[in-house]
């Protein structure tokens, strides 16, 4: 089929002759400003509720306290970057445990997949920050400048003092909201009350001000100015979601079989031989992305369901049943056309797979979190030199052990060696006895260990191979908690072994 691939390079061979007068489309397109109209109804109320809850969670969370004792911060949710700790209520994550965060992200992605295959872009329509903040900004706009028609008129009118006042008030409120958004964000990264004091007295770190400035800019420009263009042009998620719909996914849809043929309707006229759509454009007026849902599923549609509310209002007024626009699957109109009863199929191959993956991920993470210990240890063997022969014929090996004390208290450990007879422990510059280590709360300590095997053991068959597996353990002297690691002890290979 290579023959059918044509490109701009072989224009000379192009089969069609040039058509003079064929109009050239514009290279660039100006945005058509959208003036979403106020609407009320079930889904609008649901959206208000989601907005209050999500914004509430966002603003309140950093101020929640959670007692962790004197050695750890008491902020319930805190990303402590300088100390490399992540606190989430009873969970505390160290940098080597970022797989919990990975797990959380995987879980979030899988949940998104599941909901998308069940109900389409519910994330976009209700919970996405872009949607929530745009909704909030539109509400502000409406509060100051009035509803759709008033705003359209205001935009067309000359720049009078009232217009300037209204416009600047809108932008001012937007900016305040944007600053508040960025301001709340930084509280997740530092102790909220003291950072708040710092911000107000101008003594907070520069990074905090820069983060607030950055987020103010993005919130203001994305929520206030760019709005639906973010969803249509910038966000990759809508394109991915397209692959997750199927014929049984519930999408906000117009029912053409019920609505067509559309046309204006006068009170008292018969409904026979015509559809229920009175072509009032109410659904188009409320749409925050400015499309007509009656044209079928479109990539711009964020599935906010406001057009359902709008049409239901109309249906109530003209006394027709609600639900001309409704959550529907693609299979439903086909079923109706065939005279079958439309089926709701929530349990399908993909939803089963997504659900199982969610359960599996959650189970693995839950198990990991529940069994997570507050003590860890690692051992690094010296490789250079592999071992040190000493003057009395004994052999010494060097190890560096790292003790991770994840508890919020100072702990004393004893170091215990096993796996080989006669091993002696020594530590250079040890303050007290070499097999005792004290580790500060919530801290990591590296300890150099020198382990010596006496001459008779070195010459005995035990070390004939030149190495012997040993075990290094640390034991909490109060609680008895143990962490241990296997490693090897090396020595010279005995002659007979070498010759073999």
Report DSSP letters for 97-126, one per residue: GTHHHHHHHHHHHHHHHHHHHHHSSHIIII
User: Which of other proteins, ligand SF4, none sits in contact with 291, Cβ below 5 to 8 A by type?
Assistant: ligand SF4
The least CB distance from residue 341 to ligand SF4, in Å, is 24
- The residue from 112, 199, 204, 305 that contacts ligand SF4 (CB under 6 A) is 305
Extract the tokens encoding 363: 């189970």
| Candidate list 27, 70, 200, 337; residue touching other proteins; CB under 8 A | 27
Q: Which residues contact 21 (CB under 8 A, 6 or more apart)?
A: none
CA 408, chain centre distance (Å): 29
The nearest distance, CB 293 to ligand SF4, in angstroms, is 4
Q: Which does 324 bind (CB under 5 to 8 A by kind): other proteins, ligand SF4, none?
A: ligand SF4
The verdict on 201 binding other proteins (CB under 8 A) reads: no
Question: Among residues 1, 161, 337, 370, which is the contact residue for other proteins, using CB under 8 A?
Answer: 1
R_g of the chain computed on alpha carbons:
34
Judged by CB under 6 A, the residue of 110, 190, 304, 447 near ligand SF4 is 304
Cα–Cα distance measured from residue 367 to residue 363, given in angstroms and rounded to the nearest whole number = 6
Instruction: Check binding of 389 to other proteins (CB under 8 A).
Output: yes
Within residues 447-466, the interface with other proteins by CB under 8 A covers 448, 450, 455
Count of positions on this chain that bind ligand SF4 (CB under 6 A): 29
Largest CA distance in the chain: 115
Contact indicator for 486, 471 with CB cutoff of 8 Å: yes
At residue 127, the 3 state secondary structure works out as helix
Q: Which listed range, 195-203, 286-294, 387-395, 433-441, lies at the site for other proteins (CB under 8 A)?
A: 387-395
For 133-178, give the DSSP string: HHHHHHHHHHHHH-SHHHHHHHHHS---HHHHHHHHHHHHHHHHHH
CA distance 377 to 437: 13
Residues 308-327 contacting ligand SF4, CB under 6 A: 310-311, 314, 324-325
| Smaller CB separation from ligand SF4, 126 or 489 | 126
In whole angstroms, the minimum distance from the beta carbon of 313 to ligand SF4 comes to 8
Nearer to other proteins, 13 or 341 (CB): 13
Cα–Cα distance measured from residue 83 to residue 466, given in angstroms and rounded to the nearest whole number:
42
Matching residue, tokens 């609505």: 259
**Cα dist. 228→82, 131, 174, 211, 221 in Å?**
37, 9, 17, 24, 12
Give the neighbor-by-neighbor strand order of the sheet with 77-80. Answer: 77-80, 85-88, 91-93
Its sign, for the CA torsion 47, 52, 53, 55, is positive
Part of the chain binding other proteins (CB under 8 A), chosen from 52-60, 91-99, 354-362, 382-390: 382-390
Q: 489 by DSSP, 3-state: which? A: strand
Looking at the Cβ atoms of 212 and 252, the one nearer to ligand SF4 is 252
Shortest Cβ distance from residue 242 to ligand SF4 (Å)?
14
Contact between 128 and ligand SF4 by CB under 6 A: the answer reads no
**Among 26, 202, 349, 480, which residue interacts with other proteins (rule: CB under 8 A)?**
26
Count of other CB atoms within 10 angstroms of residue 59 = 14
Span of 61-69, 180-188, 272-280, 435-443 interacting with ligand SF4 by CB under 6 A: 272-280
The nearest distance, CB 304 to ligand SF4, in angstroms, is: 4
Question: Which residues lie near ligand SF4 (CB under 6 A)?
Answer: 252, 254, 259, 277-283, 286-289, 291, 293-294, 301-307, 310-311, 314, 324-325
Question: Which residues lie near other proteins (CB under 8 A)?
Answer: 1, 4-8, 11, 14, 16-19, 22, 24-31, 226, 229, 233, 382-385, 388-393, 396, 398, 426, 428-429, 448, 450, 455
């Amino acid at each position: 089929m290579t023959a059918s691939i044509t490109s701009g390079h072989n224009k000379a061979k192009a089969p069609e002759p040039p058509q003079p007068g064929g109009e050239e489309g514009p290279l660039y397109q100006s945005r058509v400003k959208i003036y979403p109209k106020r609407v009320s109804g079930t889904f609008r109320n649901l959206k208000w509720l989601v907005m209050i809850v999500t914004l509430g969670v966002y603003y309140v969370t950093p101020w929640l306290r959670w007692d962790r004792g004197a050695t750890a911060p008491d902020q319930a949710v805190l990303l402590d970057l300088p100390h490399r700790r992540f606190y989430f209520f009873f969970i505390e994550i160290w940098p080597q445990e970022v797989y919990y965060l990975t797990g959380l992200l995987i879980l979030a992605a899988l949940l998104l997949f599941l909901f998308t295959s069940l109900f389409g872009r519910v994330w976009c329509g209700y919970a996405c920050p872009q949607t929530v903040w745009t909704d909030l900004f539109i509400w502000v706009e409406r509060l100051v400048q009035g509803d759709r028609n008033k705003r359209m008129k205001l935009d067309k009118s000359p720049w009078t003092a009232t217009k300037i006042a209204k416009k600047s008030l809108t932008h001012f409120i937007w900016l305040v909201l944007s600053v508040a958004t960025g301001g709340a964000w930084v509280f997740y990264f530092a102790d909220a009350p003291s950072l708040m004091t710092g911000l107000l007295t101008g003594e907070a770190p520069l990074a905090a001000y820069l983060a607030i400035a950055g987020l103010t800019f993005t919130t203001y420009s994305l929520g206030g100015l760019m709005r639906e263009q973010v969803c249509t042009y910038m966000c990759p998620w809508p394109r991915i979601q397209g692959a997750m719909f199927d014929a049984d996914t519930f999408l906000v849809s117009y029912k053409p079989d019920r609505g067509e043929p559309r046309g204006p309707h006068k009170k008292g006229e018969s409904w026979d031989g015509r559809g229920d759509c009175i072509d009032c454009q109410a659904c188009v007026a409320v749409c925050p992305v400015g499309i007509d849902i009656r044209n079928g599923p479109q990539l711009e549609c964020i599935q906010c369901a406001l057009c359902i509310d709008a049409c239901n209002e109309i249906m109530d007024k003209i006394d027709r049943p609600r639900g001309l626009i409704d959550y529907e699957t693609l299979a439903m109109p086909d079923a109706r056309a065939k005279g079958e009863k439309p089926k709701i199929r929530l349990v399908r191959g993909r939803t089963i797979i997504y659900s199982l993956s969610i359960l599996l991920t959650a189970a693995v993470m839950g198990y990991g979190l529940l069994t997570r210990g507050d003590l860890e240890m690692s051992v690094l063997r010296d490789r250079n030199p592999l071992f040190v022969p000493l003057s009395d014929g004994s052999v010494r090996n060097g190890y560096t052990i790292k003790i991770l004390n994840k508890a919020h208290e100072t702990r004393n450990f004893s170091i215990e060696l096993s796996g080989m007879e006669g091993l002696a422990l020594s530590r250079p510059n040890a303050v007290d006895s070499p097999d005792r280590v004290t580790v500060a709360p919530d801290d990591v300590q590296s300890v150099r260990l020198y382990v010596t095997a006496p001459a008779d053991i070195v010459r005995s068959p035990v070390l004939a191979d030149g190495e012997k597996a040993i075990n290094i353990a640390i034991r909490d002297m109060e609680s008895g908690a143990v962490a241990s690691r296997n490693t090897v002890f090396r020595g010279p290979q005995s002659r007979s072994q070498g010759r073999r």
